Structure 1
Amino acid sequence: MAGSIAITVEGGIARLVLTNPERRNAISSTMWRALSAFAHDAPRRSDIRVAVLRGAGDLAFSGGADISDFDTARSDASGAQSYDDLVEQACSALEGLPFPTVAFVRGACVGAGAALAASCDMRIAGDDAFFAIPAARLGLGYDPRGMARVLRTFGSQGARQLFFTADRLPAPRAHALGAVDLLAPAEEAEALADRTLARIAENAPLTLKAAKLAIRASESGAPPLLAEAKRATALANGSADYREGRQAFAEKRAPRFSGA
């Protein structure tokens, strides 16, 4: 199966690169499984404070699901459901990571690529980027779990535009809708992303984890997640990093957080 996820970790930043250039970084079943595997293993690593997902090159974040999968994995209703489960497993696992995730988008971000970008906590885009979900041009039913994710990210009007027209949603319009957090001219977008990632990686890991949990808990209202968020907040408030943050502030220096 074509395609892979290139993963490197340096300076607290995990970089995941969708690599399938002959198909505009389309995401194959193998790549979905690799994303799930990363999300399963990453919480046990102490060297990751933020993760960024991007496509190889500047022409596409992702052109969507790899259509070479369709005749095998998605040839009928049963296969389509199994494939949707595979996508949902990867997207949900990424959403559940204990550290922030960022999608860096240049060029096309289509179909399953848009779903993957919507699974991240933040989206940074160049003004050459666009989003599209062409399900209505394929006669494809869209999984309600994925629809909820699109709604959270693009809002109800953005979702209607994406699905009803199946047209491109330019990054400036997505930015106006709140789906893109930071927007820059194409030639400046990567530098903006790098600065943002470095800034996040400098911050206290336990605070980032507690904040992410609190946001997810507030959005869902799920009692188990609310309880987990409360425990994470208490852990951050009793941590050595909190003491280091207070001391660094008093000494007018940059804090050195250890994640403990």
Structure 2
Amino acid sequence: MAGTISVSVENSVARLVLSNAERRNAISAGMWQQIADFAKSASQRGDIRIAILRGEGELAFSGGADISDFNGARADASGAQSYDDLVEAACAAVEALPFPTLALIRGACVGAGAALAASCDLRLAAADAFFAIPAARLGLGYDPRGLPRLLRAYGSQGTRTLFFTADRLSAQRAFELGGVDFLTEASEAEAAAEKLAKRIAENAPLTLKAAKLAIRAAEGAPHAVLAEARRATALANSSEDYREGRLAFAEKRAPRFTGVTRPHKPA
């Protein structure tokens, strides 16, 4: 199997790395399944507060779907549909993670790689990064299920530009369109991503989960997500963290959040 996914967790930060250096971290069918498996496993863990997704090295976040799959698993319409199902399942699983996700983008972020980055809540890009959707140069029909995440990231006109021209979109232009949330010098990208992840991980995890669900519901996720957001909000409001946040504010100190969901007794 070409390529692999590596995952590590340290200080409440999960780091998922796309590794397929010979193909600029192109994502094979097996890697898409590994991404979905990571999301399923990570959703059940209580020690992760944010995940960073990135490509191995400095040349690419991902060059897109592994082209070597196209002549096998994706050789005809039926195979293409099955492959699209695999990609959509992985991207949807990343979107549904109960904690924030950050794509660290260096170099190429192309095709399905751009879709994976758009599945993350936030995107931090090095100034030398670029984005592209080359489907029109391959004669490939793009799965309509993936369009909403690109529209959220790049807007209607940015998405049209990506698809109709199949040209590169610079990190600066992506930043102007809203597809990149943080833009840094190439030499500072990794440190900036780690600093941002640390800052997010220090916040109340129950609040972050509730906010993420509410945002997804507002963006058109199924109605069940809104109901889940309401439950998550109620849990945050009855948590030890809410009590800790109030105490820390009154005592003028940094709060120490634990994510404990049991209701606290009134003082």
> Aligned partners of 2:44 and 2:74: how far apart in 1?
33
Match of 1:148?
148
Match of 1:41?
41
> Aligned partners of 2:223 and 2:126: how far apart in 1?
38
The code of the aligned residue for 2:257 comes to F
CA offsets 1:23-50 (integer angstroms, 9 cap, x no match): 0000001100000001111111111000
- CA shift at 1:153, angstroms? 1.1
Show the 5 A alignment for 1:127-138: 127-138=127-138
> Aligned partners of 2:225 and 2:43: how far apart in 1?
17
- CA shift at 1:111, angstroms? 0.5
2:230 aligned with 1:230? yes
- CA shift at 1:233, angstroms? 0.5
- CA shift at 1:161, angstroms? 0.7
CA offsets 1:158-196 (integer angstroms, 9 cap, x no match): 111100000000000000000100001111111111110
> Aligned partners of 1:174 and 1:221: how far apart in 2?
24
Match of 1:258?
258
SS of the residue corresponding to residue 230 of structure 2 reads helix
> Aligned partners of 1:79 and 1:164: how far apart in 2?
25
Match of 1:69?
69
CA offsets 1:128-175 (integer angstroms, 9 cap, x no match): 000000000000000000122211111111111100000000000000
SS of the residue corresponding to residue 71 of structure 2 reads helix
Match of 1:17?
17
Match of 1:217?
217
Q: TM-score, normalised by structure 2?
A: 0.96
Match of 1:245?
245
- CA shift at 1:222, angstroms? 3.6
Stretches of structure 1 that go unaligned for 5 or more consecutive residues are none
The code of the aligned residue for 2:12 comes to G
> Aligned partners of 1:239 and 1:97: how far apart in 2?
21
SS of the residue corresponding to residue 26 of structure 2 reads coil
- CA shift at 1:221, angstroms? 6.0
> Aligned partners of 2:142 and 2:215: how far apart in 1?
26
- CA shift at 1:253, angstroms? 1.2
Report how many aligned residue pairs link the two structures. Answer: 260
> Aligned partners of 1:189 and 1:27: how far apart in 2?
22
**Greater than 6 Å deviation, 4+ residue runs:** none
Match of 1:105?
105
Question: Normalized per residue, which structure has more helix?
Answer: 1
2:77 aligned with 1:87? no
> Aligned partners of 2:81 and 2:111: how far apart in 1?
16
The code of the aligned residue for 1:138 comes to L
Q: TM-score, normalised by structure 1?
A: 0.99
> Aligned partners of 1:221 and 1:189: how far apart in 2?
31
The code of the aligned residue for 1:140 comes to L
> Aligned partners of 2:109 and 2:51: how far apart in 1?
18
CA RMSD of aligned residues (A): 0.8
225-234 vs 90-99, greater mean Cα deviation = 225-234
> Aligned partners of 1:180 and 1:223: how far apart in 2?
28
The code of the aligned residue for 1:161 comes to T
The code of the aligned residue for 1:162 comes to L
> Aligned partners of 1:67 and 1:227: how far apart in 2?
40
Match of 2:207?
207
The code of the aligned residue for 2:133 comes to I
The code of the aligned residue for 2:253 comes to R
SS of the residue corresponding to residue 8 of structure 1 reads strand
